Structure 1
Amino acid sequence: MLVLTLAVGAGATQVSQSSSLDQFQSETTESEKLSYIEGNFSTGQENTTTVQVIVRDENVLDKESLTEMLEMQAELRANESVNGTLAGQNAIVGIPNIVATAGIQGEIARELEPTAAEFERLNATVTSERSAIQQQTARLEQRAATLNETADRLERALQTIQQQSSVDARTQFEQVSANTSVELDAEDFATFNQSVQRLRAATNQSQVEAAFRLGTRGVLQSEYQQLQRDRATLEDRGNELESKANRLQSLGAELQRLQSRLENASSASLAAQREQLDSMNESQIDATITQVLSQNGGGGQAFAFMPTDYDPGSTDASATMWIVTQTTEGELATGAASDRLVNSQLAMETVVSAAAEENDDALVFGTGKISDEINRSMADSLAIVGPLALLFVVLALVVAYRDLLDILLGIVGIGAVLVMTFGFMGWAEIPFNQMFVAVPVLLIGLSIDYAIHTFMRHREERHNEYTASDVRGAMRVGLAGVGVALIWVTATTAIGFLSNLTSPVPPIQDFGIVSAVGILAALAVFGVLIPALKVEIDEFLEGRGIDRKKTAFGTGGGRFSSLLSAGSTAARKAPYVVILGAVLISAVGAVGGSQVDTSFNQEDFLAEDPPDWTKNLPEPFKPGDYSAKENLEYVNENFLRQDSQAQVLIEGPVATTEGMTELQAARTAAGNDSVAPNVQVLSDGNPDIRSPLSVMESVAAENESFNATFQQADTNGDGVPDQNVEAVYDSLFATAPGEAAGVIHRTESGSYEAVRMVISVEGGASGSAVTSQMRDIAGTVDGETFTATATGQTILFKIIQDQLLDTVIESLLITLVAVFAFLMFTYRITEGSASLGAFTLMPVVLSVTWILGTMFLLGIPFNILTGMITSLTVGLGVAYSIHLSERYNQELERADTMWEAMETAVTGTGGALLGSAATTVGGFGVLAFAILPPLQQFGIITGMTIIYAFLASVLVLPSLLVVWTRFFGPDHASVEDTPAATAAAAED
């Protein structure tokens, strides 16, 4: 057994830890659709998570507070743990950054405005003058061509005169004048006639050429001179135009630079943002805030950083939020935050808390922070309840055993059971989660039950005159007697645990398997290992003269015996009254139990700040501080929760007019307060809904080309494209591919298969309400052509909540049927009476209704732990009934009357039951001191379960056994306590 324990226990070093709520999800349509969304839509920056940092002050929008917040951000970036996780330069965004950026943009715009105006004016001037110069140049060129042509005509006229001396000069001149647009006057004719005379008088070639020059260029000299002057003037104008063009080019470059700065202002460095705020006075900052946070000022997503009760345009607010985007590097694939994220978010909390002024308050809310508190609450819970459970068990064993050696053997056995159980978890690769904090306490309580029953029966047999009183002989007889009961108890308890395999929630299945393995380990350890050790040690000690005979707890008379015999006394006097009273109490409990709520949400796993007395505990038992739950409640009440979203996935021919109509119908329903009152409304009065339509509207507002496509497709002006929808989608992907991919699924072939709506819901809204509302929204979509599915984390949590309720009902029914059949069968085989099995189970059925009624009275819901309470009640409670029924049936064989058998069974086994019940209740009761809330509730309700099971076994079961004996009992059982009956019994 020791070798087996070590071999199995070696796996304990391989046990991993997980606090992710994703592990509770099962395969459902909604979870499949959420996986489809994550695989086919761009759900934001890949492999990132967001952290909400909230700063509270008298006025977070004044210059001093805004500047301080930027300094906090600078300190965050300077922190190595934080900076290494930030997703880029603009990983931290909030109102301080938006205001500073808007200020930068405002300054650039003010500088840009006159530059743009001058550029436009000068551009118009240069364009106009360039056109004028071009026209003038063309006219001058035409004038030069005309003058040249006229000169050519005059030259041909002179040639004619030269060749024909009889030709009249005036006639030739007038012919030229008639065929040209140049106005030739009498003075020009005089010059022409003078050239004719010189030509006729010329005696050499030089005189001829001079005559020709005078008759052509000389005639047009004034015209050519004017042309030259006009050309000079035009050249001066060209030079001036070139100067203006150079100026225009400089203005263009400056304008481009300013526009580039304006476009890049949103990516301004933190240093630039701080410099900008420093340069602005309060009135400028107030004006900027009014601009970015007014309903008509284009505030848009800026309102997501403000409290939901913020008055748009106000320059006064008591709180604001930043969003810090961190890279995850795939660390959130299972929903659990890595040490890297946990450490970085804890560092954030330290930095912002230290940086906040005396009147300021800052809090950090993110996956890493929540994961840290859940993990710490598990560790702190174990650190507190583990020692307390052992301490209580030791004290109870001191009272029950009053023997140091037996106490030590019990503790060794508990250790062996825990080692084997956690070793199995390691070998089976079952992670340790929130539920498994209860496993050690559960096994401690159950294990000590086995120890008490084994040891008490051994002690009884050592004082029994009918059996061998030596150590080995008494243990042989004791184990033969109690061993059967232990086997039946193990089987029924394992059935109770394994009934959780029907649950669709994976961790509940794992819990059932591990607990069943643990109870089997308890049987092996306390049925084989510990009895063997006790025999060896007791024989060794008695061989050296040390008496190891001890009295069994609850026997030998006294106060405990009197208390334990109350049930047998009532059974002897009025068994039917006892049974009727128990049934009436059960009926009341059943009515209350039918009204117990079911709960599964993140808040369930967040601990309240521990009570003050725990702060005085020594290390390592002293718990840490817990603020996530308080912070979560504050965020829910005052801000948009970044992780509180639902989604509606629409599949089908979405790139059609009909698809766009259905999408608009769903968006309208989501924004209708009567349909979806829990949709988060920002402080500007608009619901926070993202869909293809909202993305189209935002892109159209910034891009003229897409806006033209968008408007052209909207023929009726209602803001919804009603034609060429596929072309609109194509244009949207071409213009803003990232934004489009976030809401539209386009396949590799270019077809459009699905769209989605992302709907922010109020953080504190119930999962039932949100799920119902989102399904109503999805229901507005035509189900014949399209498939619309409401999904998201909140909806998946509601499904788990429903599955918990199913688990409660199914596991109870399965456990009852299985245990009923098992007991009927085993008692028929071993005792010859199947009916005894049915009567043994009846008190447990009654105690189930009692515990459900108690849950209703205490306001304890069914959650991941308390949801197993019905099957646990049967599995744990039936042990008490089995021990008593088995002992009673054995005593009937050797007692004179049933009353004597009843008295012996109740006071003998009842003492062991009381001891085991006390230790088990104490073990579970210490869970009330756990830090993790579900553990507290589980500890309280399980402790009550054990109490009810014990009371039902010692108070109600005796009356049921009386009825069984009278109607179904063995023939030798005497039901009368008379001398005749005694003699008859003795004869038998």
Structure 2
Amino acid sequence: MGRLDGLFETVTEHSRIVIALMLVLTVAVGAGASGIDQSSSLDQFQSESEESKKLSYIESNFSTGSDNTTSTQLIVRDDNVLDKATLVDIIELEQRLQQNDTIGTTLAENNSVVGISNIVATAAIQSEIGAELQQKATRFERLNATVVEESAALQREQAALEQRSTALNETVGLLRGALDTVRANPNADIRTQYEQVEANTTVDISDDYATFEAAAEQLRNATSRDEAEAAYRQGTQGVLAEQFATLQQRGAELEDRGEALEAKATELKELGRELAALKTELEAKSNPSLDTQLEQLRSMNQSEIDDTLSLVLGEDSDGGGAAFAFMPTSYEPGSTSANATMLIVTHASGGGAATGTAPDRLVDAQLAMQSVTNDVGDGTDVLVFGSGIISDEINRSMADSLAIVGPLALLFVVVALAIAYRDLIDILLGVFGIGAVLVWTFGFMGWADIAFNQMMIAVPVLLIGLSIDYAIHIFMRHREERNNRHTASDVRGAMRVGLVGVGVALLFVTATTVIGFLANLTSPIPPIKDFGIVSAVGISAAMLVFGGLVPALKVEIDEFLEGRFDWDRKKTAFGTGGGRFSSVLAAGSTAARKAPYAVIAVALLVSAGGAYGATQVDTSFNQEDFLAQDPPEFTKDLPEPFAPSDYTAKDNLEYVNQNFLREDSQAQLLVQGDVATPDALERLDAARDAAADKDAVQVLSNGEPNIQGPLSVMETVAAENETFNATFHAADTDGDGVPDRNVNAVYGELFAIAPDEAAGVIHQTEDGEYAAARLVISVNGGASSTAVTEQMRAVADTAGGNGLEATATGQTILFKIVQDNLLQTVIESLLITLVAVVAFLMITYRIAEGSATLGFVTILPVILSVSWILGTMFLLDIPFNILTGMITSLTVGLGVAYSIHLSERYNQELERADSMWEAMRTAVTGTGGALLGSAATTVGGFGVLAFAILPPLQQFGIITGITIIYAFLASVLVLPSLLVVWTRYVGLDEATSMEATPNAGEVPAED
């Protein structure tokens, strides 16, 4: 390792050049920090998967309207939210929401706020109009029937009258002809002529012969034209005079009836216009303004409101499903009382598609809602829940966590260094070094375009705790060498010997720690990869800063103070010089001398228990993991800017999950292929029925699941549109509610009548082909991602087949994939880290120390401590999450540092000690003191994460702190026994011979 020795010697020989170069590099690298972006989206944790591709397909090819929208849920709670006063308060609240500039500019154009108050008011308005419409429709039907009936009768009677008139006129002609015969032929018999007329007419003239006979005689005796004309009139019209009078009277009567019928027809037309106007008004009142709704509710008494509630929330209510979606799942159908209800606020172009993040305008709008809803009514409170609130709380919890744990970590390190160093200058140098490491790390993030996310909060704490270890080991070794009579005791000489002595161990530590971090590159989760890269860069920067810049600064400062002010800078290294700490630290070496195999056996036994616990540790990834609980009250008394904010999203999320349908908790079933076939619709129907039977699916209080798909849309449109209703039922020949013929035509008419609704569940290509369909299934927000995934995949199996590909997807299912990837990360990173670190140590120890087995012995306590920490996670009920999922590789990467320092020191002491036991004791008490100091600072640094606002950070801090404790204990208690066994059976011959004591059978006395 001569070249490395020369490298470390360069730091002391050319300290000013090193300082200048490192400061320039620090400024250059640190300049990148200004380019760091922040991200709190949970989507960043998702990897490429078949389910994510299908969800992207859905988002690209299906729509539920013309706008990109997102929603906010407002939960109104009161003793009875269905009484008149609260329903009115809710409408007034909706008005204030729309009038607020911050909120109003984000709202969708139509139906931006919908709740049970709107449904009740609209139903009441429509009920009143509908009653009037029904009344007039009944009247119209009756009047129309009367007009039709009377018009037909009048037409029949007019036709009969016309026939009678014709018959009379024809009879007049026959009578005139008979009279002509009588006049022309004096011998003609009058009766005979009359009887001939009577025989040829349909008119009854049997009683009028006398009048005809008298007219005939008068005609024969007529001497003038006038007398003859008078005789003709008497013989024709005179005979029929009574019947002509009857015909005229009947005609007058029919004319009067015609005028009356015309009046009724006019009335019928007017009534038709009124009906059309009422229908138009009814359509318009299907979406009445808030002012109209408010006026309607104010005009109603509680009894009328209860009657309307029975219409929309009754057990047998038509279309009640829509209203039940706004009620708690515990609501009893038909009840006029409930302690909570929900409003849905729809925001236009809301974005916020990424889980856990939202655009600023949506965040501002939802925060404004919290202010607006503060004053609703006495005894009424409103819970605001949405992606903007969640995004704001995640971002605030990140900032609050940094504001709390950063200073606390630094404060703890300063206190620990004060105890270990007992020197202000050394403390300041350590703090300066930490600052430089953080500058390098964040500068790299900016240059590499790596976003600062929830995981990255742990990075500065991690680096504060780890980088100071380098300073402790170097400073303590420097102090040892300054007090070592066998080496140079001047500042520069002692630093040179100290750096050379501890430098190789530091390089080994850096390499193994970097390996542990970079093992996360195998993870399919992008932020874990980024965390591994950034942490590896940060620990490498710590090696450069504390292996070069800080030692160079210390040499210059100490020489200046001793040379200029004659200030003795010699200090005693922590843990040396006897005393209680030395005795405690020597426990491991004492046990190794007296009972090494017993120590190893106990360690293996504990590890076996830990290994069992490791198999029981859960894996977790969900939105709740990233939501902070409201901090303890004492933290809110902290001065600004350390006092944390209030956090309600997690409690609100749990409340919504337990009591309501959650708008963003959905699974989606994508069916691709030719979906315009009867078989495809049968499979979709079967999948809908299968989903309804799954316990992870959200069931409304009316007992119905909330599942949207092609069939549900068809059913809704058919109920509202007569034309489509006829088409839909004509295509359903067996009456099972599923079209079994002409499916293409049914789809075509559905798109023509309700294009937005159809496009939400059916994908029609530019060529007019129907390439895919989907079911949107509301799932219980509290259901586990495992249950949702397994059940929805079973539903997908029902829909797939016969040329159709069915895939279950959705955010919950993608979270389950992330959860599986986390477990994969735990296993793979552990195996890779172990293999890489074992190989690295065995190779480097073979080169440096001449024994590859020493490398394996050095890593063995760390392997044991991995099982200890996993068993502890099981006992503490801490799952693998985005941060704790890296604990196995971190345990190896971080823990091996303690073993390396002790192994390296032990080998160095073997070369100059009189016995193996002396070498072991010197190594444990000398290096052990530095290990204890670094362990204390690291544990303290990570321990402050327990005060973080983000739950994963709290768990990560606790479990990492315990990891460091285990690694320290394994190095000072277990490793000495392993080194003794190695020395006896595998170690160098010279070291083995050192086990013997001057007097046989006599154990060397302790120092």
For normalisation by structure 1, the TM-score amounts to 0.92
The answer for the alignment partner of 2:131 in structure 1 is 110
Mapped to 2, the partners of 1:539 and 1:247 lie a distance apart of 116
Q: Residues 45 and 946 (structure 1 numbering): CA distance in 2 closer, same or farther, change over 3 Å?
A: farther
- Whether contact under 8 Å (2:218, 2:228) holds in the other structure is no
> Is residue 2:76 matched to residue 1:55?
yes
The answer for the alignment partner of 1:8 in structure 2 is 29
- Whether contact under 8 Å (1:356, 1:362) holds in the other structure is no
The Cα shift of 1:86 comes to 1.5
Q: Residues 239 and 486 (structure 1 numbering): CA distance in 2 closer, same or farther, change over 3 Å?
A: same
- Whether contact under 8 Å (2:46, 2:526) holds in the other structure is yes
Mapped to 1, the partners of 2:175 and 2:514 lie a distance apart of 130
The Cα shift of 1:136 comes to 4.7
Instruction: Give secondary structure in 1 for the equivalent of 2:671.
Output: strand
**Identity level (%):** 69
The answer for the alignment partner of 1:249 in structure 2 is 269
Instruction: Give secondary structure in 1 for the equivalent of 2:772.
Output: strand
Instruction: Give secondary structure in 1 for the equivalent of 2:886.
Output: helix
The answer for the alignment partner of 2:95 in structure 1 is 74
The answer for the alignment partner of 1:635 in structure 2 is 656
Q: Residues 273 and 516 (structure 1 numbering): CA distance in 2 closer, same or farther, change over 3 Å?
A: same
Mapped to 2, the partners of 1:561 and 1:102 lie a distance apart of 84
> Is residue 2:902 matched to residue 1:884?
yes
Listed as ranges, the matches of 1:95-494 within 5 Å are 95-138=116-159, 232-298=252-318, 299-332=320-353, 336-357=357-378, 359-494=379-514
> Is residue 2:711 matched to residue 1:690?
no
Mapped to 2, the partners of 1:622 and 1:232 lie a distance apart of 100
> Is residue 2:569 matched to residue 1:569?
no
> Is residue 2:805 matched to residue 1:792?
no
Q: Residues 199 and 267 (structure 1 numbering): CA distance in 2 closer, same or farther, change over 3 Å?
A: farther
Q: Residues 182 and 893 (structure 1 numbering): CA distance in 2 closer, same or farther, change over 3 Å?
A: same
Listed as ranges, the matches of 1:706-725 within 5 Å are 706-725=724-743
Mapped to 1, the partners of 2:431 and 2:637 lie a distance apart of 28
Runs of 5+ unmatched residues, structure 1: 982-988
The answer for the alignment partner of 2:4 in structure 1 is none
The Cα shift of 1:763 comes to 1.8
Residue range with higher mean Cα deviation, 702-711 or 151-160: 151-160
Aligned length: 973
Mapped to 2, the partners of 1:890 and 1:916 lie a distance apart of 21
1:690-715, Cα deviation, whole Å (9 max, x unpaired): 23333333333333333333333334
Q: Residues 198 and 768 (structure 1 numbering): CA distance in 2 closer, same or farther, change over 3 Å?
A: farther
Q: Residues 905 and 317 (structure 1 numbering): CA distance in 2 closer, same or farther, change over 3 Å?
A: same
> Is residue 2:987 matched to residue 1:969?
yes
Q: Which amino acid aligns with 1:124?
A: A
- Whether contact under 8 Å (2:211, 2:234) holds in the other structure is no
- Whether contact under 8 Å (2:413, 2:940) holds in the other structure is yes
**Match for residue 534 of structure 1 among 523, 546, 554:** 554
Instruction: Give secondary structure in 1 for the equivalent of 2:808.
Output: strand
The Cα shift of 1:819 comes to 0.8
**Match for residue 553 of structure 1 among 560, 574, 579:** 574
The Cα shift of 1:275 comes to 1.1
- Whether contact under 8 Å (1:160, 1:167) holds in the other structure is no
The answer for the alignment partner of 2:834 in structure 1 is 816
1:584-639, Cα deviation, whole Å (9 max, x unpaired): 11111111111111111111111111111112111111111111111111112222
Residue range with higher mean Cα deviation, 811-820 or 482-491: 482-491
The answer for the alignment partner of 2:925 in structure 1 is 907
Instruction: Give secondary structure in 1 for the equivalent of 2:775.
Output: strand
The Cα shift of 1:295 comes to 1.7
1:400-440, Cα deviation, whole Å (9 max, x unpaired): 11111111111111112112212222222222111111111
The Cα shift of 1:653 comes to 3.5
Mapped to 2, the partners of 1:25 and 1:41 lie a distance apart of 22
- Whether contact under 8 Å (1:328, 1:341) holds in the other structure is no
The Cα shift of 1:806 comes to 1.0
Instruction: Give secondary structure in 2 for the equivalent of 1:305.
Output: coil
- Whether contact under 8 Å (2:394, 2:628) holds in the other structure is yes
Instruction: Give secondary structure in 1 for the equivalent of 2:570.
Output: coil
Instruction: Give secondary structure in 1 for the equivalent of 2:990.
Output: coil
- Whether contact under 8 Å (2:219, 2:227) holds in the other structure is no
Instruction: Give secondary structure in 2 for the equivalent of 1:543.
Output: helix
Mapped to 1, the partners of 2:223 and 2:475 lie a distance apart of 161
Instruction: Give secondary structure in 2 for the equivalent of 1:827.
Output: helix
The Cα shift of 1:532 comes to 2.2
Mapped to 2, the partners of 1:523 and 1:813 lie a distance apart of 25
Mapped to 1, the partners of 2:893 and 2:220 lie a distance apart of 145
Instruction: Give secondary structure in 2 for the equivalent of 1:544.
Output: helix
- Whether contact under 8 Å (2:41, 2:354) holds in the other structure is no
Residue range with higher mean Cα deviation, 734-743 or 614-623: 734-743
**Match for residue 52 of structure 2 among 26, 31, 34:** 31
Mapped to 1, the partners of 2:159 and 2:892 lie a distance apart of 109
Residue range with higher mean Cα deviation, 459-468 or 514-523: 459-468
The answer for the alignment partner of 1:897 in structure 2 is 915
The answer for the alignment partner of 2:521 in structure 1 is 501
The answer for the alignment partner of 1:844 in structure 2 is 862
Runs of 5+ unmatched residues, structure 2: 1-21, 1001-1007
Mapped to 1, the partners of 2:218 and 2:603 lie a distance apart of 150
Mapped to 1, the partners of 2:626 and 2:770 lie a distance apart of 41
The Cα shift of 1:148 comes to 7.4
The answer for the alignment partner of 1:705 in structure 2 is 723
The Cα shift of 1:790 comes to 1.8
Instruction: Give secondary structure in 1 for the equivalent of 2:374.
Output: helix
Mapped to 2, the partners of 1:472 and 1:176 lie a distance apart of 159
Q: Which amino acid aligns with 1:417?
A: V
- Whether contact under 8 Å (2:675, 2:773) holds in the other structure is yes
Q: Which amino acid aligns with 2:843?
A: F
1:865-900, Cα deviation, whole Å (9 max, x unpaired): 101100010111111111222222222233333333
Residue range with higher mean Cα deviation, 538-547 or 225-234: 225-234
Q: Residues 124 and 547 (structure 1 numbering): CA distance in 2 closer, same or farther, change over 3 Å?
A: same
Instruction: Give secondary structure in 2 for the equivalent of 1:411.
Output: helix
Q: Which amino acid aligns with 2:611?
A: A
Mapped to 1, the partners of 2:686 and 2:314 lie a distance apart of 28
Q: Residues 222 and 419 (structure 1 numbering): CA distance in 2 closer, same or farther, change over 3 Å?
A: farther
Q: Which amino acid aligns with 1:305?
A: F
Residue range with higher mean Cα deviation, 546-555 or 860-869: 546-555
- Whether contact under 8 Å (1:353, 1:363) holds in the other structure is no
- Whether contact under 8 Å (2:356, 2:390) holds in the other structure is no
The answer for the alignment partner of 2:9 in structure 1 is none
The answer for the alignment partner of 1:598 in structure 2 is 619
Mapped to 2, the partners of 1:950 and 1:636 lie a distance apart of 44
Mapped to 2, the partners of 1:188 and 1:407 lie a distance apart of 151
Residue range with higher mean Cα deviation, 628-637 or 210-219: 210-219
Mapped to 1, the partners of 2:978 and 2:232 lie a distance apart of 153
- Whether contact under 8 Å (1:198, 1:211) holds in the other structure is no
Listed as ranges, the matches of 1:511-526 within 5 Å are 511-526=531-546
The answer for the alignment partner of 2:604 in structure 1 is 583
The Cα shift of 1:83 comes to 1.6
Instruction: Give secondary structure in 1 for the equivalent of 2:346.
Output: strand
Q: Residues 578 and 114 (structure 1 numbering): CA distance in 2 closer, same or farther, change over 3 Å?
A: same
1:58-111, Cα deviation, whole Å (9 max, x unpaired): 111111221222222222222222222221242111111111111112211222
The answer for the alignment partner of 1:986 in structure 2 is none
Mapped to 2, the partners of 1:95 and 1:340 lie a distance apart of 27
Instruction: Give secondary structure in 2 for the equivalent of 1:483.
Output: helix
- Whether contact under 8 Å (1:441, 1:924) holds in the other structure is yes
Instruction: Give secondary structure in 1 for the equivalent of 2:773.
Output: strand
